[in-house]
Structure 1
Amino acid sequence: MLDTATLERRLTNLEQVVFDLQHKFDSKPVSDNWLDRLIGSISDDAAFLEALEYGRAFRQSDKPIDEIGQ
Protein backbone atom coordinates (compact mmCIF):
# COMPACT_ATOMS: atom_id res chain seq x y z
CA MET A 1 0.00 0.00 0.00
CA LEU A 2 1.21 3.51 -0.77
CA ASP A 3 1.92 5.89 2.06
CA THR A 4 0.22 9.27 2.38
CA ALA A 5 3.24 11.28 1.17
CA THR A 6 3.47 9.23 -2.03
CA LEU A 7 -0.26 9.60 -2.67
CA GLU A 8 -0.02 13.36 -2.12
CA ARG A 9 2.87 13.64 -4.61
CA ARG A 10 1.03 11.59 -7.20
CA LEU A 11 -2.16 13.59 -6.74
CA THR A 12 -0.25 16.89 -7.04
CA ASN A 13 1.44 15.63 -10.20
CA LEU A 14 -1.90 14.50 -11.65
CA GLU A 15 -3.50 17.86 -10.89
CA GLN A 16 -0.62 19.64 -12.65
CA VAL A 17 -0.93 17.45 -15.73
CA VAL A 18 -4.68 18.06 -15.91
CA PHE A 19 -4.09 21.81 -15.53
CA ASP A 20 -1.49 21.76 -18.32
CA LEU A 21 -3.82 19.84 -20.63
CA GLN A 22 -6.69 22.23 -19.95
CA HIS A 23 -4.44 25.21 -20.60
CA LYS A 24 -3.17 23.67 -23.83
CA PHE A 25 -6.72 22.97 -24.99
CA ASP A 26 -8.02 26.42 -23.99
CA SER A 27 -5.16 28.28 -25.65
CA LYS A 28 -5.61 26.55 -29.00
CA PRO A 29 -7.08 28.96 -31.57
CA VAL A 30 -10.58 28.04 -32.67
CA SER A 31 -11.39 28.38 -36.33
CA ASP A 32 -14.85 29.33 -37.57
CA ASN A 33 -14.35 26.98 -40.50
CA TRP A 34 -15.60 23.50 -39.61
CA LEU A 35 -13.17 21.94 -42.07
CA ASP A 36 -10.16 23.49 -40.33
CA ARG A 37 -11.31 21.91 -37.05
CA LEU A 38 -11.73 18.50 -38.69
CA ILE A 39 -8.55 18.23 -40.77
CA GLY A 40 -6.11 15.75 -39.27
CA SER A 41 -8.38 14.73 -36.41
CA ILE A 42 -8.78 11.10 -37.50
CA SER A 43 -6.08 10.52 -40.10
CA ASP A 44 -4.08 8.07 -37.93
CA ASP A 45 -7.08 6.08 -36.79
CA ALA A 46 -7.26 2.47 -38.00
CA ALA A 47 -11.01 2.78 -38.71
CA PHE A 48 -10.32 5.83 -40.91
CA LEU A 49 -7.71 3.93 -42.92
CA GLU A 50 -10.11 1.02 -43.28
CA ALA A 51 -12.86 3.38 -44.51
CA LEU A 52 -10.42 4.80 -47.09
CA GLU A 53 -9.73 1.29 -48.35
CA TYR A 54 -13.47 0.51 -48.61
CA GLY A 55 -13.97 3.74 -50.56
CA ARG A 56 -11.12 2.87 -52.91
CA ALA A 57 -12.52 -0.64 -53.47
CA PHE A 58 -15.99 0.80 -54.11
CA ARG A 59 -14.67 3.26 -56.70
CA GLN A 60 -12.72 0.48 -58.41
CA SER A 61 -15.81 -1.76 -58.52
CA ASP A 62 -17.65 0.91 -60.51
CA LYS A 63 -15.05 1.06 -63.30
CA PRO A 64 -15.42 -0.98 -66.48
CA ILE A 65 -13.28 -4.14 -66.42
CA ASP A 66 -11.04 -2.97 -69.28
CA GLU A 67 -10.03 0.17 -67.26
CA ILE A 68 -8.93 -1.75 -64.18
CA GLY A 69 -5.20 -2.33 -64.07
CA GLN A 70 -4.26 0.45 -66.49
Structure 2
Amino acid sequence: MLNETNLEKRLIDIEQAITDIQTKINEQPLSNNWLEKITGSISDESAFLEALEYGEKWRKSEKLTDEIDEGK
Protein backbone atom coordinates (compact mmCIF):
# COMPACT_ATOMS: atom_id res chain seq x y z
CA MET A 1 0.00 0.00 0.00
CA LEU A 2 1.25 3.47 -0.87
CA ASN A 3 1.75 5.92 1.87
CA GLU A 4 1.79 9.67 1.33
CA THR A 5 5.60 9.88 1.07
CA ASN A 6 5.77 7.18 -1.61
CA LEU A 7 2.92 8.78 -3.54
CA GLU A 8 4.66 12.17 -3.42
CA LYS A 9 7.93 10.60 -4.65
CA ARG A 10 6.14 8.88 -7.54
CA LEU A 11 4.41 12.12 -8.50
CA ILE A 12 7.76 13.97 -8.52
CA ASP A 13 9.25 11.21 -10.72
CA ILE A 14 6.34 11.44 -13.17
CA GLU A 15 6.59 15.23 -13.35
CA GLN A 16 10.32 14.95 -14.05
CA ALA A 17 9.73 12.36 -16.77
CA ILE A 18 7.19 14.65 -18.44
CA THR A 19 9.61 17.58 -18.24
CA ASP A 20 12.35 15.44 -19.82
CA ILE A 21 10.03 14.41 -22.67
CA GLN A 22 8.96 18.00 -23.31
CA THR A 23 12.60 19.09 -23.37
CA LYS A 24 13.49 16.41 -25.91
CA ILE A 25 10.57 17.39 -28.12
CA ASN A 26 11.53 21.06 -27.98
CA GLU A 27 15.20 20.30 -28.75
CA GLN A 28 14.37 18.62 -32.05
CA PRO A 29 15.33 20.96 -34.89
CA LEU A 30 12.41 22.17 -36.94
CA SER A 31 13.16 22.04 -40.61
CA ASN A 32 11.73 24.41 -43.19
CA ASN A 33 12.53 21.88 -45.89
CA TRP A 34 9.28 20.14 -46.81
CA LEU A 35 11.14 17.07 -48.03
CA GLU A 36 12.85 16.53 -44.66
CA LYS A 37 9.47 16.79 -42.94
CA ILE A 38 7.92 13.97 -45.00
CA THR A 39 10.94 11.72 -45.58
CA GLY A 40 10.07 8.22 -44.41
CA SER A 41 6.45 9.04 -43.66
CA ILE A 42 4.96 6.66 -46.23
CA SER A 43 7.76 4.24 -47.00
CA ASP A 44 5.66 1.19 -46.06
CA GLU A 45 2.68 2.11 -48.20
CA SER A 46 2.06 -0.04 -51.27
CA ALA A 47 1.08 3.03 -53.32
CA PHE A 48 4.43 4.61 -52.50
CA LEU A 49 6.30 1.49 -53.58
CA GLU A 50 4.28 1.38 -56.79
CA ALA A 51 5.13 5.03 -57.47
CA LEU A 52 8.82 4.21 -56.98
CA GLU A 53 8.53 1.47 -59.60
CA TYR A 54 6.89 3.85 -62.08
CA GLY A 55 9.61 6.42 -61.43
CA GLU A 56 12.34 3.88 -62.03
CA LYS A 57 10.72 2.72 -65.30
CA TRP A 58 10.34 6.32 -66.44
CA ARG A 59 13.98 7.14 -65.68
CA LYS A 60 15.13 4.06 -67.59
CA SER A 61 12.94 4.95 -70.58
CA GLU A 62 14.29 8.52 -70.57
CA LYS A 63 17.85 7.19 -70.46
CA LEU A 64 17.17 4.95 -73.46
CA THR A 65 15.57 7.86 -75.35
CA ASP A 66 18.60 10.05 -74.62
CA GLU A 67 20.97 7.33 -75.84
CA ILE A 68 18.98 6.89 -79.06
CA ASP A 69 18.94 10.67 -79.63
CA GLU A 70 22.71 10.80 -79.14
CA GLY A 71 23.19 8.04 -81.73
CA LYS A 72 24.58 5.42 -79.37
Q: Equivalent residue for 1:24?
A: 24
Higher RCO (Cα < 8 Å, 6 or more apart)? 1
Q: What letter corresponds to residue 19 of structure 1 in structure 2?
A: T
Q: Percent identity?
A: 40
- Paired residues, number: 51
Deviations 1:28-66 (A, max 9, x none): 1000022212324566xxxxx4x438x65xx8xxxxxxx
Gaps of 5+ in 1: 44-48, 60-70
Gaps of 5+ in 2: 54-72
Q: What letter corresponds to residue 31 of structure 1 in structure 2?
A: S
- Counterpart CA distance in 2 for 1:42 and 1:11 is 38
Please tell me whether Structure 1 or Structure 2 has the larger radius of gyration of its CA atoms.
2
Q: CA RMSD in A?
A: 2.7
Partner SS state of residue 12, structure 2: helix
TM-score (norm 1): 0.54
Change (3 A) 1:42 1:23: farther
TM-score (norm 2): 0.53
Displacement of 1:2: 1.4
Relative to its length, the structure with more helix (as a share) is 2
